[in-house]
Amino acid sequence: MNFDEMRQRIATGEGFIAALDQSGGSTPKALKGYGIGDDAWGSEDEMFALIHQMRQRIIESPCFGNGKVIGAILFEKTMDGTSGGKSVPARLAERGVVPFLKVDKGLEDEVAGVQLMKAMPDLEALCERARAMGVFGTKMRSVIKAANEAGIEQIVAQQFAEGRRIMGAGLVPMLEPEYDIHADDRAEGEEILRSNIARHLDNLGEGEEVMLKLSIPVKAGHYTSLIEHPRVLRVVALSGGFSTDEACAKLAKNPGMIASFSRGLLQDLRHQQSDEEFDSTLGAAIDQIHAASVR
């Protein structure tokens, strides 16, 4: 797929985006969930080698290329790795899966009810390298923990400012101002969040477009106006700690919003499973998440 074909696949594809972008801080937890304990590695390189083996197993599974997964978000080390004898972005594209890259460097401490992203001084260089490898877009995450209007305004402004840098490097940014699903005031805060996102979308110029990755809203259909905005390529949902069943049930109530799940996709996969068991388990999760995404 070339860039235009990837754009069309994301804009109109009936499927979902797999989140395979666990980074240094979240990798031990991901490996533990996969059935590999902390005693299985002695260095960071060994840890990342183990998570890459898991990701290779997912990418090469027959069900991963059945058309229901239209995109995959990668950690930088995964982008730089190989699968099926090719670079990971090239192998994904070969399987009909559009590659994205996680570009954020983690979160700042909470201030005004939000955690902003840490500075990304090398963002343009990373994006240029990713595009040369066949990556279509990026993803970057910040977190909202309270309905603090000033904090939410700041977090959305940062997402769009960094998004403009990414667009300038020729990639499509996926903006992820995640709202903590455990926040008591989430319904109120999501009103503030939608309003701020809409204002920034209206300020984008001709030819500029973004994707949005948002927590499944408290109020079903809350983000319909963003889904329909001409500057939005696609709106995807994060599972946010919900189980697969919970996330899919909630997502299905939000037409036009598709999944971009990590835990919801991977929660039942285990290192000890035979290839047949692994493929069957992954396939069942893909089918369930796909059904919730296209309803």
Q: Which residues are catalytic?
A: 176, 213
Gap between the Cα atoms of 37 and 54, Å rounded: 14
Which is nearest to 219 in space by CA: 245, 247, 191? 191
Evaluate whether 235 touches 226 at the Cβ level (below 8 Å).
Answer: yes
